[in-house]
């Protein structure tokens, strides 16, 4: 079983996305999976130019010669694809979106009805289904901040002839994983354990229980305390930098 994860945070290894993705992948690896992480920020991926050359001129081949060639091979080989992204303006980061748009060359122009909905068929003849999982974090405290990105993830999985939505592991107030280490170490550990166990379940069961999907989002701080602490920190940071 191959698990391929994309980390689309520009903060890469310094970010919360990395922490939760790595914890999930460690769980998947402990259950016997081959794992791979792609830092999209490090990759050379040009914007889709919308020319449709990959459909009508050189079928399956993009006009851009860049790191998408390798990424498409990695996607082909994967059984589970993890889309790791912080919430940026209620959706995926630009790094993730640029990569997603370039996957258009893997489809064909023809239109078919799948479950009564118009879709493009996949270019490849293979029937292997790849499970698609969202792992995300955000700055605000409410879980509803993930509604648009989850909706988008589900739609993407339906669009792929060979895709299947696997679920979403979302962590509100990502900063709390560090900020609450002193005050609520058990809570932080329980969240990280849930990400790890989700990696195990994804590999051993091919799905992630609702309980684990809930557990990774467990509140680590009250909303009142979060707003207070965050604003104090922001005032401090601004003051620190203005005195330099
Ligand atoms: C450009 C930008 C847009 C953001 N938009 C949102 C948002 O819409 N909602 C939210 O809760 N957090 C938002 N955030 C906060 C990030 O989701 C948060 O800082 C997250 O922890 C970053 O993940 P990382 O540490 O992996 O980079 C935004 C941050 C940036 C830089």
Q: Give residue 29's domain range.
A: 2-242
pLDDT digits (tens, 9 = 90+) for 133-156: 999 999 999 999 999 999 999 999
- pLDDT class for 235, splitting at 50, 70, 90? very high
Q: Residue 240 burial by CB count (10 A; 0-12/13-18/19+): exposed, middle or buried?
A: exposed
Structure tokens at 71: 């990424």
> CB of 16 within 8 A of CB of 175?
yes
pLDDT of 243 higher than 90: no
- β-strands 80-86, 112-114 pairing: unpaired
- pLDDT class for 124, splitting at 50, 70, 90? confident
CA dihedral 63→41→78→138, nearest 10 degrees, is -130
Q: Detail the DSSP E strand segments found in the chain.
A: 2-7, 34-39, 80-86, 112-114, 117-119, 130-137, 163-171
Dist. CA 52–CA 226, nearest whole Å: 47
Q: How far is the CA of 3 from the centre of ligand 1 (A)?
A: 25
pLDDT of 50 higher than 80: yes
Evaluate: CB of 88 within 6 angstroms of ligand 1. yes
pLDDT digits (tens, 9 = 90+) for 189-216: 999 999 999 999 999 999 999 999 999 9
Residue whose C-alpha is closest to residue 150's, from 192, 80, 92, 94 = 92
> CB of 4 within 8 A of CB of 78?
yes
Q: How far is the CA of 138 from the centre of ligand 1 (A)?
A: 5
Write the DSSP symbol of residue 231: H
Evaluate: CB of 144 within 6 angstroms of ligand 1. no
Average the pLDDT over 52-74 and give the result.
Answer: 97
- Confirm whether pTM is higher than 0.85: yes
Q: Detail the DSSP E strand segments found in 9-92.
A: 34-39, 80-86
pLDDT of 126 higher than 80: no
pLDDT digits (tens, 9 = 90+) for 85-99: 999 999 999 999 999
Dist. CA 82–CA 77, nearest whole Å: 13
Q: How far is the CA of 234 from the centre of ligand 1 (A)?
A: 15
- pLDDT class for 221, splitting at 50, 70, 90? very high
Structure tokens at 62: 């993009």
Give residue 4's pLDDT: 98
pLDDT of 125 higher than 90: no
Nearest CA to ligand 1 atom 31: 88
* Ligand 1 atom index nearest CA of 10: 27
Average the pLDDT over 222-240 and give the result.
Answer: 96
- pLDDT class for 127, splitting at 50, 70, 90? confident
Mean of all residue pLDDT scores within the chain? 96
Give residue 68's pLDDT: 98
Residue whose C-alpha is closest to residue 187's, from 141, 164, 223, 218 = 218
Nearest CA to ligand 1 atom 15: 139
Domain count, the chain: 1
* Ligand 1 atom index nearest CA of 172: 11
Q: How far is the CA of 128 from the centre of ligand 1 (A)?
A: 34
Evaluate: CB of 39 within 6 angstroms of ligand 1. no
Evaluate: CB of 22 within 6 angstroms of ligand 1. no
Give residue 59's pLDDT: 96
The CATH number of residue 13's host domain is 3.40.50.360
* Ligand 1 atom index nearest CA of 17: 26
> CB of 49 within 8 A of CB of 221?
no
Contacts of 167 (CB under 8 A, 6+ apart): 133, 134, 207, 208, 213
């Amino acid at each position: 079983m191959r698990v391929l994860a994309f980390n689309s945070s520009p903060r890469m290894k310094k970010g919360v996305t990395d922490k939760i993705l790595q914890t999930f992948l460690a769980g998947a690896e402990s259950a016997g999976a081959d794992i791979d992480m792609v830092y999209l920020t490090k990759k050379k991926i040009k914007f889709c130019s919308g020319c449709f050359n990959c459909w009508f001129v050189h079928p399956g081949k993009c006009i851009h010669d860049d790191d998408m060639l390798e990424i498409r091979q990695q996607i082909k080989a994967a059984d589970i694809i993890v889309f790791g992204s912080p919430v940026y303006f209620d959706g995926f980061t630009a790094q993730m979106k640029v990569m997603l748009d370039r996957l258009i060359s893997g489809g064909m122009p023809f239109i078919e009805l799948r479950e009564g909905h118009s879709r493009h068929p996949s270019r490849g003849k293979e029937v292997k289904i790849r499970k698609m999982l969202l792992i995300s974090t955000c700055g605000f405290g409410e879980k509803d901040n993930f509604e648009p990105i989850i909706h988008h993830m589900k739609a993407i999985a339906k669009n792929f002839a060979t895709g299947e939505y696997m679920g979403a592991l979302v962590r509100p107030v990502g900063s709390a994983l560090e900020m609450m280490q002193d005050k609520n170490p058990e809570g932080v550990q329980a969240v990280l354990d849930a990400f790890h166990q989700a990696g195990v379940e994804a590999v051993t069961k091919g799905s992630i229980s609702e309980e684990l999907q809930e557990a990774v989002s467990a509140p680590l701080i009250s909303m009142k305390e979060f707003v207070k602490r965050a604003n104090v920190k922001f005032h401090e940071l601004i003051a620190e930098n203005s005195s330099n």
